[in-house]
Structure 1
Amino acid sequence: MNIRVTGKNVDLTPLMEEYIQKKLSKLSRLYPKIVGCDVVVSHERYRWIVEANLEIKNSFLHAGAEKEDFREAVDEVKERITRQLKSFKDKRISLHHREAK
């Protein structure tokens, strides 16, 4: 999975990019058909805003979070996108296992 990290109004350190890569790379184990992930990190006065757009074959998922701590914001985005990905995966599986009429 290709993870692209960009900073909006903030210079990202290599440690920040590594933390995001480490957290979001685990998503490919959950659903291997992920094409890529775009992460935008911005910082305003007292809050960090992290948004992730996950590109799956024929679909997109989006999650965002605002927290006072950078790591908390990344963790929140990972939890939200994981929840959406599990729901997406279950929906795809249930469509293929429907009963015949």
Structure 2
Amino acid sequence: MRIEITSKIIDITPTIRERIESRFDKLERLQVPLITPHVIVSKEKLTFMIEASVSIPNGKLFAQAEHEDMYAAINELGQKLERQLNRYTAKPLARRANAAHKEHLQLDESEV
């Protein structure tokens, strides 16, 4: 996967690129195709801000993290994106559960 990394003020070193790519590799394990991931790395005063936007089928994910340590911010960003992907993958199951519950309620009302 090709990740577009944009930086404001900071030079993107190979280790930073490798850390970001390893976090996105973990996201790919959830078996959701990630389309055109874009990461923006910036620094404001003493904190590093990292933003990511990723297109997925039928949607788009966006996460933002800030921390004094850049690698901690990258990890936090990855965790936020992972939660969003988990929610996206579990959504059909949640809808199916709601439909079964509605059918059960309709059966109860017809008996009354």
TM-score with structure 2 setting the length: 0.79
Q: Contact between 2:48 and 2:66, CA under 8 Å: does it hold in 1?
A: yes
Determine whether 1:56 maps to 2:41: no
**Larger relative helix fraction:** 2
Is 1:47 the equivalent of 2:30? no
Distance in 2 of aligned mates of 1:55 and 1:74: 19
What residue number does 1:65 align with?
65
Tell me how far apart the structure 1 counterparts of residues 28 and 15 of structure 2 sit (CA, whole Å).
21
Q: Answer with 1 or 2: which has the greater Rg.
A: 2
Q: Mark the runs of 5 or more structure 1 residues left unpaired by the alignment.
A: none
Structure 2, gaps ≥5 residues long: 104-112
Aligned counterpart, 1:10 = 10
Name the structure 1 match of 2:108: none
User: CA shift at 1:82, angstroms?
Assistant: 0.5
Provide the TM-score with structure 1 as the length reference.
0.87
What letter matches 1:55 in structure 2?
Answer: S
Q: Aligned runs of 1:7-46 on 2, under 5 Å?
A: 7-46=7-46
Question: Across the two proteins, how many residue pairs are aligned to each other?
Answer: 101
Q: Percent identity?
A: 33
Query: Contact 2:32/2:56 (CA < 8 Å) preserved in 1?
Result: no
Structure having the higher strand fraction is: 1
